[in-house]
Chains A and B, each alone.
Chain A
Amino acid sequence: MGPLVPDIISTNLNYIVALVLGIFFGAILEQAGFSTSKKLVGLFYGYDFTVLRVFFTAGVVAMIGVMGLSYFGLLDINLVYINPTFFWSAVVGGVIMGLGFVVGGFCPGTSVCAAAIGKIDAMIFIAGAFIGVLIFGEGYEMFEPLYKATNWGAPRIFDSLGLSQSVFAFLMTSVALFAFWMTSIIENKVNKVSKPPIRFTPYYVSLGVLGLVIALSAFAFPDRKSDLLELNLQSENIKIDKMSVDEFAYRIMDEYDNKLQVIDFRKDKEFKKMSLPKSTQFTIDNLFEKEPNRLLALKHKINVFIAEDEATAIKYAAIAKELGYKRIKVLDGGLDKFKQEILNYQIKNVFNSVDEENTNRFRLKAKEIIPVMISQNKISGPVVKKQKRVVGGC
């Protein structure tokens, strides 16, 4: 599960990765024509919309790609850097940058590209940006109130707008496609090209189809979590294996049994009051995270889910199964039945079969041993996220 830093790729190797990714970044920007200010500002005077096409194609492709990766459980979005939102700082800073764009003819990334191929204006621009940072640093006292005001945390846009992720992504892609169409009309008008901007040639037809496929694929990758939390057990026909209370009690008592792993979804308070041996406290969020993922993915373990009630445990087990975890079971009858038939077992004197007599003997023994084990049990979990979000941004 991504991101690969810092587990698979160390922090030091990450610098080399940065260099390599940067080389591709620079090469693509230069090849796209971002190394000339005349092409860049063309966007604002209507004679060249290259920047808009490249920028929004890249943005939409990356957006859908990231959605796809997290949908298939390949990327833990909780660990990815989400740019924080400071409302007024973002708006004022953006407008200042917009002014800088038409005055300077570059943005920082493109100025580096242009300087690399010898553009003198780009080198002056970089010197200016350097001075700009120093001005911000020296005048920090003045900028700070604005810089730190209206801190919204790091929300995602679909949450801020109250839309689903899919709907936002679809709208965003549609707006981009519409913008590509409109701007090509404007571009031709400004440049006095008489050919119609979009013709029924294989090139435009396949572009349009591709755009449409990307827009619609937004619905193929809904936010996994909200999608699964609404999982309907009846209609999905998911079967969850159950473990009887006797087997459960037996495996808890058996010190040589290293297969049982109890995943306890109860609230903090109840878990602290009574936690079973071999159990780990989990939250529903843990199921979607990279760290806890390892515990559930351990081979040879049988994961028995328990929650406040059996229905909740079954639901969480179904979600875990949908996420691809194997050997997931729930405790038959839930903790209530376990308490009633094991912990508070009432002795019987009349038996209909040998089996019942054996069960009676076993339960009497379990009733004595398990409460002692519970009282001696050290609490483990909830699985704390050791990994923090990646620190990113500029």
Chain B
Amino acid sequence: MNLEHNNQPAPYMNSYLAGALLGILLIATIYITGRGLGASGAIKSYAVATVETVTPTHAENTKFYKEYSKEHSGSPLMNWLVFEVTGVLIGAFLSGLIANRLNFKMEMGPNSTSKIRIAGALIGGILWGIGSQLGRGCTSGAALSGLAVLSTGGILTMMAIFAGAYIFAYFFRKMWI
């Protein structure tokens, strides 16, 4: 696994430069497609597609999946965000390849353990899965894209995400510092 331990990973890009590039990318996205960037919607599409494939009768009788297929025609995977997130995977992989950061590993705070990290990642993911449905988007789809188009809902969700994180940060500090 550690084939590259001789090579140091490249340093990260300057934050303001990365931010400006991300902002320009978002402007281009809105100009071309009329919508912003996103992420959680792709996970939702995969979840709905899985349920529709594994238990089609259940999907037909459950309100959530019924409402989803009413709003989205065709397969849940023929979805803009599914393609976009596939691109994210490719782009991040290429970037990691160039910067020498490809490596199977798990990261955690100095006082944490693998078990705690696995449980934390799983529970954190579950919370995002639920929260992003209620918030109608995540940091990308609601917060960042919402800020770009000055949507009240998006900015509200953005403030709630950061406020929530700061409120709870103290209780989980052992996991990170």
* Residues from chain A with Cβ under 8 Å of B94 in the complex: 23, 26-27
Contact B127 A26, beta carbon cutoff 8 Å? no
| Cα–Cα, bound, A240→B13 (Å) | 54
A92 in contact with B134 given A54-B22, A66-B148, A157-B150 (CB within 8 Å): yes
How far is it, in angstroms, between the C-alpha of A26 and the C-alpha of B90 when the chains are bound? 7
Rounded to whole angstroms, the CA-CA distance of A62 and B159 in the bound complex is 18
Q: Is the CB of A155 within 8 A of B152?
A: yes
Cβ of A19 to closest chain B Cβ, rounded Å: 4
CB < 8 Å neighbour of A126 from B43, B136, B149? B43
Interface string of B28-40 (1 = CB under 8 A from A): 1111111111111
A54: chain B residues at CB < 8 Å are 15-16, 18-19, 22
Chain B binding surface SS class: helix
Pick from A44, A57, A133: contact of B169, CB below 8 A.
Answer: A44
A371 at the interface (CB under 8 A from B): no
- Contact check, A62 vs B93: say whether CB atoms are below 8 A apart: no
B88 touches A113 (CB 8 A): yes
Contact assessment for A135 and B165 in the assembled complex, using a CB-CB cutoff below 8 Å: no
Q: Does A18 contact B (CB under 8 A)?
A: yes
Q: Specify which of A3, A15, A74, A83 is in contact with B154 (CB 8 Å cutoff).
A: A83
**Known interface pairs A26-B92, A69-B27, A394-B132; A99-B146 also in contact (CB < 8 Å):** no
- CB <8 Å contact, A45 and B87: no
Q: Which of A279-333 contact B (CB under 8 A)?
A: none
Expressed in whole angstroms, the Cα–Cα distance for A56 and B28 within the complex equals 17
In the complex, the chain B residue whose C-beta lies closest to that of A387 is B34
**Chain A 360-394 near chain B by CB (<8 Å), digits 1 or 0:** 00000000000000000000000000000111111
A127 to chain B, nearest CB (A): 6
Q: Flag the segment in A117-125, A193-201, A230-238 that touches B.
A: A117-125
Would A100 and B87 count as touching, CB distance under 8 A? no
CA distance A59 to B135 in the complex (A): 18
Query: Which B residues are in CB contact (< 8 Å) with A157?
Result: 150-152, 155
Contact B134 A126 (CB under 8 A): no
Q: Is the CB of A53 within 8 A of B43?
A: no
Interface-facing stretch out of A35-43, A241-249, A336-344, A351-359 = A35-43
Number of A-B contacts (CB under 8 A): 556
Bound CA span A102–B172, Å: 7
Q: Which residues on the A side are within 8 Å of B18 (C-beta)?
A: 28, 31-32, 54, 57
> Do A112 and B88 touch (CB < 8 A)?
yes
Question: A188 interface residue, CB < 8 Å from B?
Answer: no
Interface positions of B from 104 to 163, Cβ below 8 Å from A: 104-109, 117-118, 120-163
A29–B172 touching, CB < 8 Å: no
Tell me the nearest residue of chain A to B36, going by C-beta.
Answer: A392
Q: A66-B30, A90-B157, A102-B165 are in contact. Are A124 and B122 (CB under 8 A)?
A: yes
CB <8 Å contact, A61 and B33: no
A24 at interface, CB cutoff 8 A = yes
Residues of B within 8 A of A92 (CB): 134, 160
Interface of A with B (CB < 8 Å)?
Answer: 2-5, 9, 14-33, 35-38, 41, 43-45, 47, 50, 53-63, 65-66, 69, 74-75, 77, 79-87, 89-122, 124-138, 140-141, 143-144, 146-147, 152, 154-160, 165, 168-169, 172, 207, 389-394
Leading 7 A-B pairs by shortest Cβ distance: A104-B124, A132-B129, A128-B125, A22-B87, A98-B164, A94-B160, A57-B19
Besides the known contacts A121-B118, A393-B142, 13 further A-B residue pairs in the complex with CB atoms under 8 A apart: A24-B87, A61-B26, A62-B30, A97-B132, A102-B168, A106-B124, A116-B90, A121-B108, A129-B125, A129-B132, A133-B132, A136-B133, A394-B140
